[in-house]
């Protein structure tokens, strides 16, 4: 079987045996497709050595691909070649001899409490569209959901009595996340007063567009951009910035790191620990402004 054939087989393995999400599968397909384009899709995988892998990563970096994307691609390739080793299609994993691109730790910038307040107050909740947008923005910030999780929420995932929402994360892993009272009020109002007028018959998804279909990730990106401009927030935040802000504000308020990890759905605590850098910076700034011996 040639490289193209093994890539298809591996993607089927990820789809059916590991139940990865559509977005994750598309990312794997792009990264592996880049390898096939670089070395030739009709090539025997056993003939691909470390030099070919390193050449691909270096070529991408030369084209302006970020080091972070290079790390992600190398991780995808390592998973692919581990699979090939298990299937006895190759004798050894060539990616083990390839160094990861160097990446400096990028500390995410959270929106301030005042910026969050302006953004959440921007929609006109007297209209159906504004009520929908307010409910989505409030729930995103209150629960720290990923955009894909927010858009795929079903009505049955929301427990108004307990004040929690059930999110479906990567690999269809599920977790329960508490939701604050203000966000619940907005979601409840949207659910009882707006959704029924727009949802198509049989639609189970919580947030529907004015046309009655499912709200998309791109659609929500436009919502965040629209209200950020209205609220005078620059540079314009991405939807993911609300997730960053959720985690950062929790930690600044004294939340336990493990609890934040569970709410974010991070499998690795190290992924969550990046937010502690933000909190430490905040503490240093407060100390610098407030402590009488902080400055000469």
Q: What is the pLDDT of residues 120-176, one digit of tens each?
A: 999 999 999 999 999 999 999 999 999 999 999 999 999 999 999 999 887 778 999
- Tell me the domains of the chain and their CATH numbers: 3-97 (1.10.150.130), 113-288 (1.10.443.10)
Catalytic residues: 146, 170, 240, 243, 266, 275
Note the pLDDT of residue 73.
Answer: 93
Task: Give CA–CA dist 231/251, Å, rounded.
Answer: 25
Note the pLDDT of residue 286.
Answer: 54
Where residue 212 falls (left for φ over 0; alpha for ψ -120 to 50; beta otherwise) is left
Task: Give CA–CA dist 172/232, Å, rounded.
Answer: 37
Please tell me what DSSP assigns to residue 107: P
φ, ψ at 18 (rounded to 5°): -105, -10
Give CA angle at 111 (171, 288), nearest 5°. 120
Strands across the sheet with 174-178, in order? 158-159, 164-168, 174-178
Note the pLDDT of residue 121.
Answer: 97
Mark the ranges of the chain whose per-residue pLDDT is less than 70: 103-108, 277-296
Task: Give CA–CA dist 46/76, Å, rounded.
Answer: 17
Q: Cα–Cα distances in Å, from 112 out to 141, 146, 263, 281?
A: 12, 19, 20, 14
What's this model's pTM, rounded to 2 decimal places? 0.66
């Amino acid at each position: 079987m040639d490289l193209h054939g093994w890539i298809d087989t591996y993607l089927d393995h990820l789809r059916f045996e590991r139940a990865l999400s559509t977005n994750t599968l598309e990312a794997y397909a792009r990264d592996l497709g880049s390898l096939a384009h670089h070395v030739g899709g009709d090539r025997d995988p056993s003939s691909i050595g470390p030099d070919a892998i390193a050449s691909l990563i270096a070529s991408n970096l030369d084209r302006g691909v970020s080091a972070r994307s290079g790390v992600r691609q190398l991780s995808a390739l390592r998973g692919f070649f581990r699979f090939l080793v298990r299937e006895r299609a190759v004798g050894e994993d060539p990616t083990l001899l390839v160094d990861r691109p160097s990446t400096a730790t990028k500390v995410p910038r959270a929106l301030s409490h005042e910026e969050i307040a302006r953004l959440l107050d921007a929609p006109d909740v007297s209209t159906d569209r504004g009520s929908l947008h307010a409910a989505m923005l409030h729930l995103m910030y209150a629960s720290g959901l990923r955009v894909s999780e927010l858009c795929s929420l079903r009505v049955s995932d929301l427990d108004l009595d307990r004040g929690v929402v059930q999110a479906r994360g990567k690999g269809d892993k599920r977790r329960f996340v508490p939701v604050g009272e203000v966000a619940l009020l907005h979601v409840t109002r949207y659910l009882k007063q707006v959704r029924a007028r727009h949802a198509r018959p049989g639609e189970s998804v919580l947030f529907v567009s004015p046309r009655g279909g499912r709200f998309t990730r791109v659609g929500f990106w436009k919502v965040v951009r629209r209200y950020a401009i209205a609220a005078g927030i620059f540079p314009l935040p991405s939807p993911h910035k609300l997730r960053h802000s959720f985690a950062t504000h929790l930690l600044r308020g004294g939340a336990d790191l493990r609890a934040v990890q569970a709410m974010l759905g991070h499998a690795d605590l190290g992924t969550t620990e990046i937010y502690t850098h933000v909190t430490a910076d905040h503490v240093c700034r407060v100390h610098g402004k407030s402590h009488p011996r902080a400055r000469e």
